[in-house]
Amino acid sequence: FVGNSTYLDDHGPPPQKVLPFPSQVVYNRVGKCGSRTVVLLLRILSEKHGFNLVTSDIHNKTRLTKNEQMELIKNISTAEQPYLFTRHVHFLNFSRFGGDQPVYINIIRDPVNRFLSNYFFRRFGDWRGEQNHMIRTPSMRQEERYLDINVCILENYPECSNPRLFYIIPYFCGQHPRCREPGEWALERAKLNVNENFLLVGILEELEDVLLLLERLLPHYFKDVLSIYKNPEHRKLGNLTVTVKKTVPSPEAIQILYQRMRYEYEFYYYVKEQFHLLKRKFGLKSHIRKPRPRPEFFIPSPLETEEPIDDEEEDDEKWLEDIYKR
């Protein structure tokens, strides 16, 4: 106070916190696609940049009833902004329940590799458990834990066949029951959502480029993420989340998996192509690596390309504006 006058009289109301745009981000992370590494990074980044990291203890409930969707959307929407919410959950349509649609981000990986990582992780966990002599999924019967991956695939056990293998697409398709049925409808709806609601869907095989683009697109959340990721201390942490005791199935078994997961692969190649186009917009090259000798049991796809396809140049600023208008 100076005499009878207050700060407000002399200066007007205190300045309001200016929120970055976007101030609501959802990372509905796909299981076994590097998400624990990214969440470790987000914990560091939220301290560093002062955004609200909202996480969930629920890891195994991706499909929600209408009431559960409304409840979760209400809880997320009332979080202090800027927030980044993360949970293993299939895409939620906020606008359907009258909420502001947040910006979505996600990361996926080669579907067979994701499946194999999950198969062995459920049985044996990762190095963190190994060091503490912890067994993953204690309730699993021993004969199931040591079930040979080839037997599981070739004899069509439920874990190694559809609809269990139809895993990545529902994260993008959404909560509609048809999103869990392997087929064109779910695939097309997932692609549409990627185009309309996701700022970025990255490819785990190119994680450093994913982090670089997140830093460019969402600096308030991801500034310096690449240097933190490359820090040897963080690398040590990341190595503990590597799945242990993985074995490679026979060529015949992989060929069967590939056929069962054809919609997942069509989606994966579509996302990969979009990701390469996005990299190109930012002047990042998709390096043409000498292709590894490719086993014959993998069916090549015309969409699988290391170099993004040519497109007409467009003004970078305008393109960014269009993304934010979505």
pLDDT in tens, 17-67: 678 889 999 999 999 999 989 999 999 999 999 999 999 988 889 999 999
Ramachandran region, residue 283 (left: φ > 0; alpha: ψ -120 to 50; beta: rest): left
Please tell me the predicted confidence (pLDDT) of residue 238.
57
Please tell me the predicted confidence (pLDDT) of residue 126.
57
φ/ψ of residue 2, rounded to 5: -120, 110
Please tell me the predicted confidence (pLDDT) of residue 155.
96
Architecture of domain 24-283: 3-Layer(aba) Sandwich (3.40)
Please tell me the predicted confidence (pLDDT) of residue 245.
62
Please tell me the predicted confidence (pLDDT) of residue 14.
53
Please tell me the predicted confidence (pLDDT) of residue 322.
46
Two structure tokens written together for 129: 């458990």
pTM exceeding the 0.85 threshold for the entire prediction:
no
* Crossing angle between the packed helical segments 35-49 and 232-239, to the nearest 10 degrees: 140
In the chain, where the domains are located? 24-283
Please tell me the predicted confidence (pLDDT) of residue 172.
98
Two structure tokens written together for 104: 């979505």
Please tell me the predicted confidence (pLDDT) of residue 112.
95
Q: What percent of the chain has pLDDT over 90?
A: 64
- The rounded distance, in Å, linking the Cα atoms of 18 and 233 is 33
Ramachandran region, residue 63 (left: φ > 0; alpha: ψ -120 to 50; beta: rest): beta
Write out the catalytic residue numbers.
88
Residue stretches of the chain with pLDDT short of 50: 1-3, 5-7, 127-133, 290-326
Please tell me the predicted confidence (pLDDT) of residue 287.
63
Best CA proximity match to 203, nearest among 303, 319, 109: 109
Could you tell me the sign of the dihedral formed by the alpha carbons of 118, 124, 125, 130, in that order? Answer: negative
Report, in angstroms and rounded to the nearest whole number, the Rg of the chain calculated over CA atoms: 22
Length of the chain: 326
Please tell me the predicted confidence (pLDDT) of residue 240.
54
**Is the separation of the CB atoms in 124 and 135 below 8 Å?**
yes
- The rounded distance, in Å, linking the Cα atoms of 242 and 43 is 19
